[in-house]
Structure 1
Amino acid sequence: MFHFSKTLTFLPQFLTGAGITLGVSALGFLAGTLIGFGLLACGRSRWRLVRWIGALYTSFIRGTPLIVQIFVVYYVLPGLVGIDLPPLLAGVLALSFNSAAFVAEILRAGLTRIPSGQYEAAKALGLKPVVTWFKIIMPQLFRAIIPPMVNEFTMLVKASSILSVIAVVELTRTSQNIMNVTYRPVEAFCIAAVLYFIVLFSCSLLTRHLERKAEGARA
Structure 2
Amino acid sequence: MFDFVTALSYVDQLATGAVTTFTLSLAAIVVGCPLGFALYSAKRSGGLLARFAATYISFFRGTPLLVQLLILFYVPPALGLPVSSLVAAFLGLTLNTAAFQAEIYRAGYQSLPKGQAEAASALGLSRWQIHRLVLLPQVLRLTLPALTNEAVDILKNSALVSVIAVTDLLRVGQQVTAVTYRPLEVYIAVAALYLILTSLIGLAGRFAESRFKMQDAHR
TM-score bin (small chain): over 0.9
Q: Which residue of 2 is the match for residue 187 of structure 1?
A: 185
CA distance in 1, matches of 2:31, 2:208: 21
Shift of 1:18: 0.3
State the secondary structure of the residue aligned to 1:41. helix
Structure 2 CA distance for aligned equivalents of residues 38 and 172 of structure 1: 32
Q: Helix, strand or coil: the match of 2:166?
A: coil
Q: Which amino acid aligns with 2:60?
A: I
Residue in 2 that maps onto 1:142: 140
What is the CA–CA distance in structure 2 between the aligned matches of 1:151 and 1:78, rounded to whole Å? 33
Q: Aligned with 1:150: secondary structure?
A: helix
- In structure 1, what is the equivalent of residue 2 of structure 2? 2
**Matches of 2:136 and 2:202 in 1, distance apart?**
23
Output the CA distance in 2 between the equivalents of 1:37 and 1:74.
Answer: 26
Letter in 2 for 1:162: L
Where does 1:3-152 land on structure 2 (aligned, <5 Å)?
3-45=3-45, 47-80=46-79, 82-152=80-150
Q: Distance in 1 between matches of 2:136 and 2:38?
A: 15
Instruction: Compute the displacement of 1:139 (Å).
Output: 1.1
Q: Secondary structure at the match of 1:146?
A: helix
Which amino acid in structure 2 is aligned with residue 145 of structure 1? Answer: T
Aligned to 1:164: 162
Deviations 1:86-126 (A, max 9, x none): 10111000000100100000111111121111110111112
TM-score using structure 1 length:
0.96
Following superposition, which runs of at least 4 residues in structure 1 exceed 4 angstroms of deviation? Answer: none
- Measured after TM superposition, the shift of residue 194 of structure 1 is 0.6
Residue 197 of structure 2: aligned partner: 199
Alpha-carbon distance between aligned partners in 1 of 2:51 and 2:200, rounded to the nearest angstrom: 38
Q: Measure the CA separation in 1 of the matches of 2:215 and 2:43.
A: 30
Within 2, Cα distance between the matches of 1:197 and 1:124?
A: 49
2:215 matched to 1:214? Answer: no
Aligned residues: 217
1:120-175 CA-to-partner distances (Å, cap 9, x unmatched) read 01111121111111111111111111111111000000000000000000000000
Shift of 1:181: 0.4
Mapped to 1, the partners of 2:176 and 2:4 lie a distance apart of 12
Deviation at 1:77, TM superposition (A): 3.1
For residue 126 of structure 1, give the secondary structure of its aligned residue in structure 2: coil
Query: In structure 2, do the counterparts of structure 1 residues 78 and 116 end up closer, same or farther at CA, with 3 Å as the change threshold?
Result: farther
Cα RMSD of the aligned pairs, angstroms, is: 1.1
Cα 1:78–1:119 change in 2 (3 A) is farther
Distance 2:48 2:77 in 1: 27
Gap runs ≥5 in structure 1: none
- Structure 2 gap ranges (5+): none
Q: Name the amino acid aligned to 1:79.
A: A
What's the TM-score, normalizing by structure 2? 0.96
